[in-house]
Amino acid sequence: MTGKTNFKQQLARGEPAAGAFLVLPDDIVAEVAAGAGFDYLVVDGQHGLFGYDGMRRMIAASEPGDAAILVRVPPGDAYAVGRALDAGADGLIVPLVNDADDVRAAVAAAAYGPHGTRSFGPMRALVREGTACFGSSRGAAVILPQVETVAALDNLDAIVSVPGIDGVYVGPMDLAIAMGLDPAMDCDAPVFVEALDRIVSACRQAGIAPAIHADASLAAKRFDQGFTAVTVATDIAVVKAGFDAAVTASKGSM
């Protein structure tokens, strides 16, 4: 971890945390988000509109802020796990895990041997921290496997019991789709509500943090449901909402 706010400890203590996703290929947007006061930022390497170079620039632009910088890596890609950490990420969100084996593979990919399978080549981390980045890497990265499939729900107790993870991150839209519902960050369908409650309970019993993707309108509800970390903004949605509000306000004055 860097010298910034220790998000890993914040999760372990169960302290509420608010974060934002970055999907736009713009390091200036990342820099602005880093100064906004979020507890964590997620550079989205799964659905974001950028490649490795864009991810690296966005991590660097975010570093002056106090937010922890996580990267959502492509599913099932141990190579991407190592590269994200080499580029300076403080942690990872690992999407589309289905069982404990998937989670154990992600944990191993984030750790050097003999504890894991990560190759040593920290690049930016080495420049910033020197060889200390080797010793500090063991258990330092925040790791949040993403629960968003029916298989993951079926294997939830085993997933939350995997050593080395700090919590699970719920992808509500994919979870809703997997349950045969329309994609939405929230719905009243009992099967969806019960799934969220079950995830929170399983995390609490395992001593790890439940986290979820949301927006600002859902933040209070999700914290009340027991989630520790709630993503309350995505950069592209913030930009669109700002433009829409400006057009609405200006059209009304014409």
CA dihedral (149, 152, 154, 160) positive or negative: negative
Is the N-terminal amide bond of 114 cis, ω within 30° of 0?
yes
CA dihedral (147, 201, 104, 84) positive or negative: positive
Q: Which of 13, 35, 47, 239 is catalytic?
A: 47
Q: Do 122 and 110 meet the contact criterion of CB atoms below 8 Å apart? A: no
Q: What does the alpha-carbon distance between residue 175 and residue 210 come to, in Å, rounded to a whole number?
A: 15
105 token code pair: 């593979």
Q: How far is CA 229 from CA 5, 17, 23, 38, 62, in A?
A: 14, 5, 19, 11, 19
Q: Please indicate whether residue 47 is annotated as part of the active site.
A: yes
The closest of 58, 252, 40 to 167, measured between CA atoms, is 40
Q: Do 239 and 197 meet the contact criterion of CB atoms below 8 Å apart? A: no
Active site residues: 47
